[in-house]
Amino acid sequence: MPFDRGGFVRAEAETCVQATAGEPARPMRVLFVASEYFPLAKTGGLGDVTGALPRALRGLGVDARVIIPAYRSALAKVSGLGRVETIEILPGRMIRIVEASVTFSRVPVYLVVCPELFDRPGGPYVDESSQDWADNAERFAVLAHAAVHLAMGRGGFPWQPDVVHAHDWQAGLVPLLLRFAPGPKPASIFTIHNAAFPGRFGFDQVRGLALPEEALGTDGAEFYGDVSFLKAGIYYADKLTTVSPTYARELCTPEFGGGFDGLLRSRQTDLVGILNGIDDELWNPATDKHLAHNYADPDCGGKQACKSALQRELGLPESPRNPLAIFASRLTEQKMADVVLNRISGALESAPDLQFALVGQGDRKLEQGFREIAQAHPNRIAVRLEYSEPLAHRLHAGGDLLLHGSRYEPCGLVQMYSMRYGTVPLVRNTGGLADSVNDADGASSTPTGFVFDQASGDAMMAAMMRGVDVYRRSPDLWRGLQRNGMRRDNGWQKSASRHHALYLQQAEAAFKVP
């Protein structure tokens, strides 16, 4: 169906593409390309975003669909398989594109089935020893080629998008391949979730991946003598987005730009920061099936019951009045997990009634450090070196104060989960944390947490002691922080509306001929 810009109506309730005279209107079509999609595959916030945003867009009338690799975990979780197409995506590399459905989601999913690349133990990016898969360049090039095959309408699927929305370096080749594809094509949007991960590979690793030679120079995907999939997306996409307004500004600086700040400054008019949201149906303490007790208000008793249940589960003394600080992120230096490890013993000395609980995985040295410190403080510190979705829900419900002091944070969802559950966040003034948490001592009429500026142990611990002091001495202020956080609208509706508007703005680029 040919694209007609006049058929796009700029209103949330009217998202139809008008065909030529005599043909019926149809919804706008958007294809999400990503390496993660909750619940089929998730290592962090990317999976949550690609799981929730398409569903929210479908609520606005957009025909949003997702294409991801058919990891072992994904194949085990789909509820049904439909149409299948078998193609040679690279010389000698046969794949299948399979339609799939997920039980609780109305979003159609396409799986890129290639067992030798994706049906493996370990995670989407690393093996069981946490080492990057040596063939990641080929793995995600195959994803990109499959997505472009679908987007260009080359196969047997009776569906073609108006916009292709590619996410992070794993999908960075999609805008490049679309730019060089002959004939009319959809518009491309590329979202930078974290510029610290460039998807960088040597030229020897990208030979044989069917990439145009002219796209591999300085004015293209070349990055300090290598090829960066992230740069390919930044350079060739029609429009760029990132996951918060503050991070969009930070990306254009040397401190946060990851070496891409010059390129991003040159494309600053094409870069939009849209704050992520959370799935407020999945993360809802009033209905959450993972909790010992449901609640809609911090004073109703349900949250205190969840705290007691969490203390019992983690082996901590059941102490209703003791402040319980939680950490619920990857164990990395980005998340200041090293600072928490080095300072938590001092915090326990300064606050003798303080308890601390951590759930997460990451750097092996940090894991060992937290294991040892938990052994040294068995009645004060509980550590679970794992990722468990149900336990994450119970942690947010049972905690009092969230430690989330990242050195940089493009958006962050953990602080939004904690506010939703009445757990007060402590964050650094950066990226999406700055956009989503209002400091208790600031000018905001709706404070929700505690914010510090410097990425230092002193600044983080000072903010933590400030939070503990408010918990002890100012119960009315504490309840106000909890209520403000629980009432804050962190759902996907606002973000979906902004994305929808962006798709409409890019309508004139759809099915263009270069």
Tell me which H or E stretch contains 226.
strand 226-228
In terms of Cβ atoms closer than 10 Å to its own Cβ (0-12, 13-18, 19+), residue 315 is exposed
- Distance between CA atoms of 381 and 378, rounded to whole angstroms? 6
- Distance between CA atoms of 263 and 374, rounded to whole angstroms? 45
Q: What is the pLDDT of residue 482?
A: 97
Kindly report the pTM of this predicted structure.
Answer: 0.91
Query: What tokens appear for 311 in the block?
Result: 């203390």
Query: What tokens appear for 31 in the block?
Result: 């294809």
258 within 8 A of 196, measured Cβ to Cβ: yes
Under 8 Å CB-to-CB from 289, ≥6 apart: which residues? none
Edge-to-edge order in the sheet of strand 226-228: 200-201, 226-228, 222-223
Query: Which of the residues in the chain have pLDDT under 70?
Result: 1-24, 507-514
Q: What is the pLDDT of residue 16?
A: 54
> To 10 degrees, the CA torsion angle through 422, 427, 433, 438?
60
Q: What is the pLDDT of residue 26?
A: 79
Q: Phi and psi at residue 43, in whole multiples of 5°? A: -120, -15
Tell me which H or E stretch contains 482.
helix 475-487
Q: What is the pLDDT of residue 2?
A: 33
pLDDT 10s digits, 233-267: 999 999 999 999 999 999 999 999 999 999 999 99
- Distance between CA atoms of 412 and 44, rounded to whole angstroms? 10
Question: Considering all CA atoms of the chain, what is the largest pairwise distance in Å, rounded to the nearest integer?
Answer: 76
How far is residue 382 CA from its own chain's centroid? 27
Bridging pattern class, strands 239-242 and 187-192: parallel
